[in-house]
Structure 1
Amino acid sequence: MPLINGMTLLLIYQLVGEVSVRLLELPVPGPVMGMVMLFLTLMIRGRLVKSVEPASSALLSHLSLLFVPAGVGLMVHFSRLGNEWLPIGVTLLLSTIITMAVTAWVMQWVSRRTVRREPNHD
């Protein structure tokens, strides 16, 4: 029963995210908004709902199946990808470089803050 309760909770957050994105006309996918809402709820509560853990574990164990629709979408739009390969390639390259740079900067920033806060054990 916890698995069904957890899945229901995850789907409710996805539905609420979808509805709020449509009502507010936000340029964000509904499931992403639902995930943000779930994250904020869990942060405010300060603990994980017991039924979410079995549902999330079940979803993560079958994560590779969630890539099948994306692969099918690539095959459906293969000719379009061939026609627009240059802008797609440049975008992928630039976004990868920017992501790596921002990640490195954040990691350095966090490590500097962590070093300052650790007490000296000498």
Structure 2
Amino acid sequence: MISTLAIILSFQLAGEVISRALALPLPGPVVGLILLLLTCILRPSVAALIRSTALGLLQHLSLFFVPAGVGIVAHWELLREHGAGLALALMGSTALAIAVGAWVFAAVARWTGSTDPDARKDQGDA
């Protein structure tokens, strides 16, 4: 388990180094995750090797939210002062992301000529 954790953390470290060295707009852990994904695709043996450790981490994923909760408590005054604005920004950005996602989905469906399978059934019945 320790060796597989070392593999996962090595990819995170490599991502940090690459992200900072190339001044990428992506965080290091995201770059590391992309590298790990590519490695798992190109070498399935790596995916098989880290599978049990990764599943163990996923089972305890809720523990990773503890530092975020501590951060909220540590900055309670700031949150009280700007909480309404933050809530409005979160709700607005969520609604915007959903709308843009729906628009992109519809555009790609039109572009690829996809149709609703239920609509085809209705046309076939007529």
Tell whether the structures are fold-level matches, with TM greater than 0.5: yes
Equivalent position of 2:63 in the other structure: 65
Q: What 5-or-longer segments of structure 1 have no aligned partner?
A: 117-122
For residues 5 and 103 of structure 1, what CA distance do their matches in structure 2 show? 39
Deviation at 1:61, TM superposition (A): 0.5
RMSD, aligned CA = 2.7
Q: Which structure has the bigger radius of gyration?
A: 2
Identity of aligned residues (%): 39
Deviation at 1:77, TM superposition (A): 0.9
TM (normalized to structure 1)? Answer: 0.74
Which protein has greater RCO, CA pairs closer than 8 Å, 6+ apart?
1
In the comparison of the two structures, how many residue pairs are matched? 114
Equivalent position of 1:78 in the other structure: 76
Q: Which stretches of structure 1, 4 residues or longer, exceed 4 Å deviation after superposition?
A: 106-116
For residues 102 and 38 of structure 1, what CA distance do their matches in structure 2 show? 29
Equivalent position of 2:13 in the other structure: 15
TM (normalized to structure 2)? Answer: 0.72
For residues 109 and 51 of structure 1, what CA distance do their matches in structure 2 show? 40
SS of 1:49 mapped into structure 2: helix
Deviation at 1:56, TM superposition (A): 1.0
Equivalent position of 2:29 in the other structure: 31
For residues 22 and 12 of structure 1, what CA distance do their matches in structure 2 show? 15
